[in-house]
Structure 1
Amino acid sequence: MKKLTLFFIILLATLALAERPYDNVAEATFNALKTGDYSLLEPHLDDAMKSAFKENDFKAFREDLISKYGNLQRYSFVKEGKVKGFILGYYAFEFEKANVTLRLVFREINGEYKLSGLWIDAVNAKKSGLPLGIAIFFPIAGGFLALLTFYLLGFKKIGGAEILLGFVLVAITLFVQPLIQNAPFLGTSIRSNSDIVARGTSFVIIVAIWLGFVAGFFQEGLKYIFCRNRYLRDALFIGVGFGLGEAILLPLIQVVQLMTVGGIPPQLTTSLLSLGERYLATLFHAGTTIVLAYSYKNGFGRKALLVLSIAHGIGDTFAAYYQLTQSRITLLITYVLFLLVSLLLLHYALPKVREEREEDRIVW
């Protein structure tokens, strides 16, 4: 008798769960994401969602998920919540590489439930990658490897104060630069990379150019202000500090994002690439700061600032395009550009650092 009662309790609970009035909307969402057929989802969207989540937006959102986590396989209900007249349905969407929890926001209109919002709530990877403590070591090692390179090249008196200054300049950059870059998107429906991609290739290129050149002019301008009246050796270590700051702070930000939202753990190949990227970036920043200091001392500082900002902007344009599209060819072009420019800058600048005399310092 007890077993029979327990059976009916489980059966009733199962039926209750199966009778959620918005399950058909969740089913349509799953089928649309699985097949890429927007027409399956559109009838279930409310007016505001139809305006904000058009077919291009849907396709960009889906392609972003598929490119990161593989093909969609199945889904299941997780839990329900309510806020200000909306129902929040949390569903686990199982992809090949990760389980992605989507938060579906439902609103009842004339007795029918419509989808009013769709958000990624959490990402749990299926495949284990490198532990974060180990993965974060690689980009940091790239920055310190660049410092070791200059040490082996004969710059054995390391400027600790200058490295710290470069670190501070990176902190300023990470706070201020995104505000400038995101300013054109305020008040628009653009809130993510997928929203940008949804507007087509031409728009992606324009955005990548904007992001790249803001970064180039902001960073080189900031370094110019603090390097123009310095010894060339001091400028060198300000640039090294800038590169080290990026190598330390950027991975820490990514770790926080992984811990809060989730994501695919870094793989060994990705971590090795991050080491090389931070190594090249530190060499590049060291080269530009030396040239900025030397050019200012010799009367062509503004011209050098313009040229270096453009060169930096072109490189970061390719980097931004890669971030938006995940194009491997673009990533390769980015690495090659920064490698060539860094070698050219250092070939020009390092002999001038070695030739510098104490009396060459600019006195105000």
Structure 2
Amino acid sequence: MMQITTALFAITYLVAASIITYTLFSRFAWRDRVSWVLIGVGFMLIALALQVVVQAVPFLVLILTHIRNVLINASSAAGAVLGFVRSNIYLASIYMGLVAGASQEIFRYLAVRDREPRSTLYIGYGFALVDVAFTIMSVVLPLLIPTPINPGINYATVTPIISLVGLAIQPVVSFLFHPGSSMLLKAYQTVNRGLRGLILMILAHTYMDSFTWCMDNAIALTLISPSLIIPLSTAYFTSVVLLSALIFITGFKALNNAEYHD
């Protein structure tokens, strides 16, 4: 019952955050067209489809190299993947983050290209909406599919704290980073430095997603001391919020300056 109540609270919070953000954008920035948000949603879904496929390639290759064992015992596939991740946690994290960053930022770059500068705020909002929707799915799925608990970690005190903080900042990061990155990319395109902006956004995105993937899997595989989980999580949460805020502010100012000079 407690899990269901928490899930309902989380969903309510995420939906409310989406509505409040849209209201703030419309009130203090500029009004949108529904098509701008839909453009962002569409390009984000395409980016995620490509991202998932490319991220799965190394693990598919790994499974194919152990195909005989997999045919004999299907569970050996999971063992091979977990063993690879355990031995190459940092390399795997960088790869997963880089693929996510490249996929989403390249499609964001295409989404804002040749469009009205003011549309980029809401195109980014559309990207963020998909991000929030997947977070809602991550809240609902554990209710349908129980997740095994790692006995090596005191989840009673560690995991709930991290989960609550992560849930609290997730919409903040999404609604700052995605619109901010969209505006910044457009500003770079306006001054004919689109490639430079794209590379910077890919690097920023890679950092955020790589750190997330590394922390999630390091905790799940007991590769990190429980005493370090809170300090590392604090460093991560702080850095991604500050980075997202910086990108949003810089993108907003740069886009306004570019429009002013036009």
Scaled by the length of structure 2, the TM-score of the pair is 0.75
Match of 2:15 in 1: 140
SS at match of 1:167: helix
Q: In the aligned structure 2, how far is the partner of 1:332 from the partner of 1:145?
A: 26
**1:347 matches 2:254:** no
* Greater strand content: 1
SS at match of 2:129: helix
SS at match of 2:88: helix
Match of 1:262 in 2: 146
Q: Is the 8 A contact 1:177 1:218 kept in 2?
A: yes
Q: In the aligned structure 1, how far is the partner of 2:139 from the partner of 2:52?
A: 15
The change in CA–CA distance for 1:348 and 1:359 in structure 2 (over 3 A counts) is: closer
Instruction: Using the TM superposition, give the Cα deviation of residue 229 of structure 1 relative to its aligned residue in structure 2, in angstroms.
Output: 1.5
Q: Deviations over 1:218-237 (max 9, x none)?
A: 10001001112222210111
Q: Is the 8 A contact 2:62 2:81 kept in 1?
A: no
Q: Deviations over 1:272-305 (max 9, x none)?
A: 5313112212210111101111111211001110
Match of 1:310 in 2: 203
The change in CA–CA distance for 1:170 and 1:215 in structure 2 (over 3 A counts) is: same
* Greater helix content: 2
Match of 1:230 in 2: 115
Q: In the aligned structure 2, how far is the partner of 1:208 from the partner of 1:248?
A: 23
SS at match of 1:129: helix
Q: Is the 8 A contact 1:287 1:349 kept in 2?
A: yes
Q: Is the 8 A contact 1:224 1:289 kept in 2?
A: yes
Match of 1:174 in 2: 48
Instruction: Using the TM superposition, give the Cα deviation of residue 246 of structure 1 relative to its aligned residue in structure 2, in angstroms.
Output: 1.1
Q: In the aligned structure 2, how far is the partner of 1:226 from the partner of 1:200?
A: 33
SS at match of 1:232: coil
The change in CA–CA distance for 1:330 and 1:215 in structure 2 (over 3 A counts) is: farther
Task: Name which of 178, 182, 187 aligns with 1:285.
Answer: 178
Letter matched to residue 285 of structure 1: H
Any unmatched runs of 5+ in structure 1? 1-126
Any unmatched runs of 5+ in structure 2? 64-75, 149-158, 220-228
Instruction: Using the TM superposition, give the Cα deviation of residue 182 of structure 1 relative to its aligned residue in structure 2, in angstroms.
Output: 0.8
Instruction: Using the TM superposition, give the Cα deviation of residue 251 of structure 1 relative to its aligned residue in structure 2, in angstroms.
Output: 1.5
The change in CA–CA distance for 1:129 and 1:232 in structure 2 (over 3 A counts) is: same
Q: Deviations over 1:182-223 (max 9, x none)?
A: 11110435855x765544765011110100010011100010
Q: In the aligned structure 2, how far is the partner of 1:159 from the partner of 1:358?
A: 22
Instruction: Using the TM superposition, give the Cα deviation of residue 310 of structure 1 relative to its aligned residue in structure 2, in angstroms.
Output: 1.1
SS at match of 1:340: helix
Identity %: 20
Residue pairs, 1:142-221, within 5 angstroms: 142-152=17-27, 154-189=28-63, 198-199=83-84, 203-221=88-106
Q: Highest CA radius of gyration, 1 or 2?
A: 1
Q: Is the 8 A contact 1:209 1:317 kept in 2?
A: yes
Scaled by the length of structure 1, the TM-score of the pair is 0.56
Q: Which has the higher contact order (CA 8 A, sep 6+)?
A: 2
Work out the number of aligned pairs and report it. 230
Letter matched to residue 245 of structure 1: V
Letter matched to residue 22 of structure 2: L
Letter matched to residue 206 of structure 1: L
Q: In the aligned structure 1, how far is the partner of 2:110 from the partner of 2:92?
A: 27
Residue pairs, 1:1-364, within 5 angstroms: 128-131=2-5, 132-152=7-27, 154-189=28-63, 198-199=83-84, 203-252=88-137, 254-255=139-140, 257-263=141-147, 270-271=163-164, 273-326=166-219, 327-355=229-257, 357=259, 360=262
